[in-house]
Amino acid sequence: MRAELLKNPVFAMAATQFDQVADFLELNDEIRERCKWPKRLITVTVPVRHDDGSTRVYFGHRVQHHLTRGPVKGGLRFHPEVDLGEVAALAMWMNWKCALMDLPFGGGKGGLNCDPRLLSVGEKERITRRFTMEMIPFIGESIDVMAPDMGTDEQTMAWMLDTYSTHAGHLVPGIVTGKPVNLQGSAGRTRATGHGVAFLAGRALSKLDIPVRSASAVVQGFGNVGTFAAETLAAGGTRISGISDVTGAFWNDKGIPVDKAIEHVRRTGGLQGFPEADPIDPDELLVQECDVLIPAATGGVIHGGNAARLKCRVLAEAANGPTTPEADEVLRQRDEIFVIPDVLCNAGGVIVSYFEWVQNLQRFRWTEREVITRLETQLEGAFNRVLHFAGRHQLSHRTAAQAIAVHTVGDVKAQRGLFP
Ligand code: GLU
């Protein structure tokens, strides 16, 4: 299984990062092995009747990296290229994210190899419900709590909640987070990840003495995270000079009206044909001059081929795993670029998921103001911890963030001991 997982380039990347951190922490072999490998790798087949009467079998995965510090927490993605190794890597990163933020969770991730853009609403609902049924032996409010990720949203979570609750015979609100607000979702959850990215970008800019109001930003990826990051930055006075999604990339030196871009996507389904900016090559977008570059789409977009050409001052990693180890090597030499690593940068989502879960367990509701204030306090604390640790040990921000997290998890494993 080890060799099989390592064959996947994304898992190999997460494992390489872990090995570097474990070397720095001088973890003993026992703790190193127990921290590195996932506790449970679950794969199920999900047979689904399509609208045309045909039946297709999808493969669904859920990787529970560990349950040492509490239930497993992490998103479920629908994407045609999902595979077990990639899901395991994403679960490992969720693990470090939860530990860095001091949330009482282990990391998990799920994925189904379907293309949500090609499915009708009914097909998506049947896939979601059948996958949830197949997962029932392995999930629960105290075992594994899923949330939206790429290709899934609050409607997906509502179907999951309904399927699980129907099976249980009563409403179980804490079975998923990122639910619709009137179905016991949390105020502020939808915008939480993007808001957190913008908030931390602002903190990084202030460390570099760049006023947020005179800064410019490029946002690659215009889904839930990218739109809210762009909107929040623009509201603070930052000029959004470039944006992109799978349908096209656009540039406007004077600043893109983000509200109009959001409206265009709502009306047409993508950025293609957006009239308020000029088309630009998507690869070139990443290497344009800007203060903040926000990769907010898939992994691996900052690589050995473009890392040396980046012209940003802050790299805010809104996506999971956007920077390859080769690119990291280049960025290590370029200390003029301030990297906010993914496990810190995009943690706003899981932080507010934690708030949602706590509200569900207590049958209590917080206001959006309370949620956002607590979110910013938590992010600010982690940001300062990472900077302090990196400065003290002369580490990159990524290694520092992961080292704090791995140290936390390793300590708890040692304290609990090895059963039997
Ligand atoms: N999918 C999000 C992430 O990668 C959120 C996970 C959650 O809220 O549990 O962090």
Q: Give pLDDT tens digits for 53-90.
A: 999 999 999 999 999 999 999 999 999 999 999 999 99
E strands present in 275-399: 278-280, 292-295, 314-316, 338-340
Domain identity same for 209 and 161: no
Domain identity same for 259 and 391: yes
pLDDT of residue 306: 98
Q: Which of 145, 353, 358, 379 to mutate to test the pocket of ligand 1 (most atoms within 8 A of CB)?
A: 353
pTM for the whole structure: 0.97
Which residues does 180 contact at the CB level (< 8 Å), separation at least 6?
154, 155, 157, 158
Domain identity same for 177 and 230: no
- Looking at the domain assignment, is residue 84 inside a domain? yes
- Looking at the domain assignment, is residue 21 inside a domain? no
Cα→Cα distances 48→60, 76, 158, 163, 258, Å:
12, 18, 19, 15, 38
- Looking at the domain assignment, is residue 296 inside a domain? yes
Domain identity same for 149 and 265: no
Residue 403: in which H helix or E strand, if any?
helix 397-416
Mean pLDDT across the stretch 34-45?
98
pLDDT of residue 214: 95
pLDDT digits (tens, 9 = 90+) for 362-420: 999 999 999 999 999 999 999 999 999 999 999 999 999 999 999 999 999 999 999 99
Tell me if 320 CB under 6 Å of ligand 1: yes
pLDDT of residue 133: 98
pLDDT digits (tens, 9 = 90+) for 211-231: 999 999 999 999 999 999 999
Of the pLDDT bands very low, low, confident and very high (cuts 50, 70, 90), residue 206 is very high
- Looking at the domain assignment, is residue 24 inside a domain? no
Domain identity same for 241 and 336: yes
- Looking at the domain assignment, is residue 32 inside a domain? no
pLDDT of residue 277: 98
pLDDT digits (tens, 9 = 90+) for 91-122: 999 999 999 999 999 999 999 999 999 999 99
pLDDT digits (tens, 9 = 90+) for 314-353: 999 999 999 999 999 999 999 999 999 999 999 999 999 9
Tell me if 186 CB under 6 Å of ligand 1: no
Tell me if 149 CB under 6 Å of ligand 1: yes
- Looking at the domain assignment, is residue 234 inside a domain? yes
- Residues 75 and 243: their CA atoms lie apart, in Å, by 25
- Looking at the domain assignment, is residue 48 inside a domain? yes
Of the pLDDT bands very low, low, confident and very high (cuts 50, 70, 90), residue 261 is very high
Which of 128, 157, 182 is the endpoint of a domain? 182
- Residues 65 and 109: their CA atoms lie apart, in Å, by 8
Of the pLDDT bands very low, low, confident and very high (cuts 50, 70, 90), residue 275 is very high
Of the pLDDT bands very low, low, confident and very high (cuts 50, 70, 90), residue 170 is very high
Please report, for the domain that includes residue 63, its CATH number: 3.40.50.10860
Domain span holding position 131: 2-16+37-182
97 is catalytic: no
Which of 182, 216, 251 is the endpoint of a domain? 182
Domain identity same for 343 and 278: yes
Please report, for the domain that includes residue 258, its CATH number: 3.40.50.720
pLDDT of residue 278: 98
Mean pLDDT across the stretch 152-170?
98
- Looking at the domain assignment, is residue 118 inside a domain? yes
351 Cα–ligand 1 center, Å:
9
Domain identity same for 43 and 166: yes
Of the pLDDT bands very low, low, confident and very high (cuts 50, 70, 90), residue 270 is very high
Cα→Cα distances 25→28, 33, 332, 403, Å:
9, 14, 19, 7
Q: What is the mean pLDDT of the chain?
A: 97
Domain identity same for 239 and 226: yes
Atom number of ligand 1 nearest to Cα 90 = 4
Domain identity same for 172 and 249: no
Atom number of ligand 1 nearest to Cα 353 = 8
Domain identity same for 228 and 295: yes
Q: Which of 365, 378, 44, 321 is nearest to 179 (CA)?
A: 365
Q: Which of 136, 194, 121 is nearest to 348 (CA)?
A: 194
Domain identity same for 120 and 141: yes
Q: Which residue has the tokens 């419900």?
A: 129
Q: How many domains does the chain have?
A: 2
Tell me if 75 CB under 6 Å of ligand 1: yes
Domain identity same for 218 and 170: no
pLDDT of residue 217: 98
Of the pLDDT bands very low, low, confident and very high (cuts 50, 70, 90), residue 49 is very high
Residue 47, preceding peptide bond in cis (omega within 30° of 0): no
Which of 138, 154, 182 is the endpoint of a domain? 182
